[in-house]
Every structure is written in structure tokens, then in C-alpha cells.
């Protein structure tokens, strides 16, 4: 059973990132859309429950 050698990985670990650059991340700017979405869902559900409560 002599299987032919297909391909071997020939790579080296680099210490520097390839392409782009590092910069600090504004965590609040990343979280604001999700916080807004949760607030909107909460507001709409409370309005819906209030309307449902007073209609019945």
C-alpha cells in the first residue's frame, strides 16, 4: 500500500499580521445597534400588551 504523496502544508507562522492594521475597537459603537434593537422590541411588546389588556 504505497499511496502517492498528495500535498503537504508548507507554511511558517508569522509574527506580524498580514494585511490591514491593528486599531483599538470602540465597544460601544459595536453594541449600540443591538441595544437599540432590544429596546425597540421591548417597547413594541409593552405597547402591544397594553393595547391587548385594554381591548379585552
Give the pLDDT score at 32. Answer: 96
Q: 45 burial class (0-12, 13-18, 19+ CB within 10 angstroms)?
A: exposed
Give the pLDDT score at 3. Answer: 65
Q: How far lies 19's CA from each of 15, 24, 26, 53, in Å?
A: 12, 16, 21, 57
Give the pLDDT score at 21. Answer: 72
Give the pLDDT score at 14. Answer: 64
- Written as tens digits, the pLDDT of the chain (56 aa) is 566 666 666 666 766 666 667 778 899 999 999 999 999 999 999 999 999 998 87
CA dist 47 and 55 (Å) reads: 12
Give the pLDDT score at 25. Answer: 87
Q: Flag whether the pTM goes above 0.75.
A: no
Amino acid at each position: 500500500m504505497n499511496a502517492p504523496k498528495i500535498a503537504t502544508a508548507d507554511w511558517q507562522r508569522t509574527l506580524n499580521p498580514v494585511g490591514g492594521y491593528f486599531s483599538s475597537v470602540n465597544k460601544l459603537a459595536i453594541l449600540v445597534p443591538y441595544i437599540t434593537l432590544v429596546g425597540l422590541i421591548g417597547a413594541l411588546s409593552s405597547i402591544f400588551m397594553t393595547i391587548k389588556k385594554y381591548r379585552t
